[in-house]
Chains A and B, each alone.
Chain A
Amino acid sequence: MKWQVAVDNRTIEIDFEQLSAVAEVEPGVYSVLLDGVSYEIRIIGMSNGYSAELGGRRFAVEVRDPRDTRNALRSSTRSGRQNVAAPMPGKVVRVLVNVGDSVDAGQGLVVVEAMKMQNEMKAARPGWVIEVRAGAGETVCAGDTLVVLE
């Protein structure tokens, strides 16, 4: 039975027996010996799979269970809606739009500050503001929807 693992969207097929090459040396840290070559990989769980680190380089990894029939693509539905989300945890400094405003592509919507850096969330496409979920002074998490456009 082959398992499929997507490493930065490149699909790698793995036989279960190959796992004999792996030793967990510390929690979440794996030593892998492949044809005598030694690799050390750090893995942590993310909301959408795993993040791996090897020699200063990072990889986004997703494991697909072959017995899981829902393992088809997680296709992102491309509707007319546009959720503008916080790319990082932080504090909302300013909200630049109101519900009902029309916005152009690239127009600033919300300013979020973290670690003394201010970042302006921008509209990717033109549209209307149908919802504002952020208020100045609020603390937000990475991925929180701040503004919904249509």
Chain B
Amino acid sequence: MFGTVLVANRGEIAVRVIRALRDMKIRSVAVFSDADRGALHVRLADQAEHIGPAPSAESYLRVDRILEAAKKHGAEAIHPGYGFLSENAGFAEACAAAGIVFIGPSAEAIRLLGSKTAARILAKQAGAPVVPGSEEPATNVDQARKLARAIGYPVLLKAAAGGGGKGMRRVNQESELDSAIRDAVSEAERAFQNGEVYIEKLIEKPRHIEIQIAGDHQGNLVHLGERECSLQRRYQKVLEECPSPFVAEHPEMRTAMGEAALKVARAAGYNNLGTVEFLADPSGNFYFLEVNTRLQVEHPVTELVTGYDLVQLQIRIASGEALPFAQKDVAWRGWAMECRIGAEDPDNQFIPSPGKIQQLREPSGPGVRLDSGVYPGWTVPLEYDALLAKLVTWGPDRNIAIQRLERALAEYGLTGIQTNISFFLEILGDPEFRAGNISTAFIPDFLARRKPPDDPPRELDVAVALAALAHFQTARVQPTSIAQVEASRWLAAGRNQLLGQV
């Protein structure tokens, strides 16, 4: 086993990996940019190294600086987390060239599965169902028109190198095709330096269901069941659960999707952890979407239901250990649900809300797990994504997991920046959500029918007013800082002068 591992990431996932390393008595090395000197992952790690200015292109994406830090600190392996360099085949190769283990699949597997077109061909050949569509990127509009006609509208344009909804366009009819291709290609070129776009049949209101897989270097390959991630806003997942409420009603789907995922993984010669994503239609047909060759943000829901620590598993596999269990040992117990707590304003088009966290009370209690990357007094930087923490609950059934999530969200006291906590409370209270009637259209539909919240009972207003008045009194007696008082005196003097009163 490794003695020292570098964590090439930041935020909650860096903290999550550092915790796994500490559980395993492995020294952890954090890396940080200028903006993250005081970040929680730096505070928690055993060792830390500065790798550059705040923009990620100059720090968390700098392969040379990260490898330098690894060598300096004697790290034998690097855990990339998710995002940043986690699905960068060049980084995996550079690690190998430097004699450092990349904790993830092989560079070949990352490259093969990173191209959506190549992955699709591979999946089809391996016998996994795929969405009807083009095998080759559409290079010109005439060719695209023919393809779209053959598939039948509505169709979806997707960037070959894409992710996160970038370079994706829905096309309802032929007249929209020209401009949609132009937009998708230019967006893909800007985001991924690769303008290749392909066309597929649009599945209406699908569910997003994915299978967690794990494989070792000894040739063992298992699946750990599904996660449903249908709740998405602008193609970004916001709430995930295990099991899928749909699969819970159609248990044969878990076996079928699990087998399809393993076929794809086997064909790609996959080892370490990965996720095979599928779309499922209301009749239970499912279609291969893509493979994520890394740890997923939403991995904790699988951990809570299967009992395995997926990050430890990644590290053990990378160090050469065999999977400590077989497929027949994998069992699913109860229900887990995760909310991605983000710095964004749900009452104002979800605009980002970076800034200083003034107060923070983190929820706890039975069935609650919080993977957080922040602390009170921390200034959430504007250079990185808005994810602050993942709040995950477990219960013996879906209803109890939801009840615990509602309790924990209400207990979560965070001020200074806006968060989406209140939005999750709205969703969890929605009868359609409670019934498990979800799809990737759920959040857009919910936002369209969402009503402004009712006025609270008067007692709540009175309590808030009393607290504010008490605060007003204290603040008046004890000015928060001398600088503020000086500033206001100076301002008052200036104002008086202007008004000719001095």
Contacts and interface: CB of A to CB of B under 8 A. Distances in A.
Contacts of B461: 7-8, 10, 12, 59
Interface string A80-107: 0000000111110000000000000000
Contacts of A45: 475, 480
B410 A21 contact: no
Interface string B429-472: 00000000000000000000000010110011111111111111
A145 interface: no
B411 to A, nearest CB: 8
Contact of A41 (B412, B463, B480): B463
A44 B358 contact: yes
B470 A19 contact: yes
Contact of B348 (A5, A43, A44, A87): A87
A130 interface: no
Interface in A27-74: 27-30, 32, 34-35, 37, 39-45, 50-59, 61, 63
A114 interface: yes
Contact of A19 (B353, B412, B466): B466
A22 B470 contact: yes
A58 B465 contact: no
B355 A3 contact: no
Given A56-B409, A56-B421, A115 B385 contact: yes
Contacts of B459: 34-35, 37
A54 B355 CA distance: 20
Q: Report, as a range, how many residues of chain A touch the other chain.
A: 35 or more
A8 B452 CA distance: 13
B464 A7 contact: yes
A10 to B, nearest CB: 6
A88 B425 contact: no
A89 B345 CA distance: 13
B404 to A, nearest CB: 14
Interface residues of B, number: 49
A53 B475 CA distance: 18
B474 interface: yes
Tell me which of A3, A43, A90 has the highest count of chain B C-beta atoms within 10 A of its own C-beta.
Answer: A43
B382 A89 contact: yes
Q: Which 7 A-B pairs have the closest CB atoms?
A: A5-B465, A30-B467, A41-B467, A115-B352, A12-B465, A39-B463, A32-B463
Interface in A4-32: 5, 7-8, 10, 12, 14, 18-19, 21-22, 24, 26-30, 32
Given A12-B461, A44-B359, A114 B468 contact: no
A30 B421 CA distance: 20
Contacts of B472: 50, 63
B353 A116 contact: no
A1 interface: no
A7 B465 contact: yes
Contacts of A58: 418, 422
B415 interface: yes
Contact of A59 (B352, B464, B471): B464
B291 to A, nearest CB: 23
A81 B365 CA distance: 53
B385 A41 contact: no
Given A7-B465, A29-B361, A34-B463, 12 more contacts: A10-B461, A14-B469, A39-B464, A39-B467, A41-B468, A43-B415, A56-B410, A59-B461, A61-B465, A115-B343, A115-B352, A115-B384
B354 A44 contact: no
B39 interface: no
A30 B470 contact: yes
Nearest to A116: B385
Tell me which of A8, A21, A42, A87 has the highest count of chain B C-beta atoms within 10 A of its own C-beta.
Answer: A42
Contacts of B453: 57
A121 to B, nearest CB: 11
Given A24-B474, A89-B382, A32 B355 contact: no
B277 to A, nearest CB: 21
22 contacts: A3-B469, A7-B468, A22-B467, A27-B359, A39-B464, A42-B415, A43-B415, A44-B415, A50-B472, A52-B468, A53-B413, A56-B410, A56-B412, A56-B421, A57-B453, A57-B456, A63-B469, A90-B352, A90-B354, A115-B383, A116-B385, A117-B351
Contacts of A29: 359, 361, 413
Contacts of A42: 359, 413, 415
Tell me which of A10, A51, A56, A119 has the highest count of chain B C-beta atoms within 10 A of its own C-beta.
Answer: A56
A30 B463 CA distance: 9
Contacts of B421: 56
Contacts of B465: 5, 7, 12, 14, 61
A59 B467 CA distance: 12
B462 A12 contact: yes
B468 A61 contact: yes
A22 B471 CA distance: 10
Contacts of B383: 115
A21 B459 CA distance: 13
A52 B415 CA distance: 8
Contacts of B361: 29
Contacts of A63: 468-469, 472
Interface string A111-123: 0001111010000
Contacts of B412: 56
B327 interface: no
Contacts of A34: 459, 462-463, 466
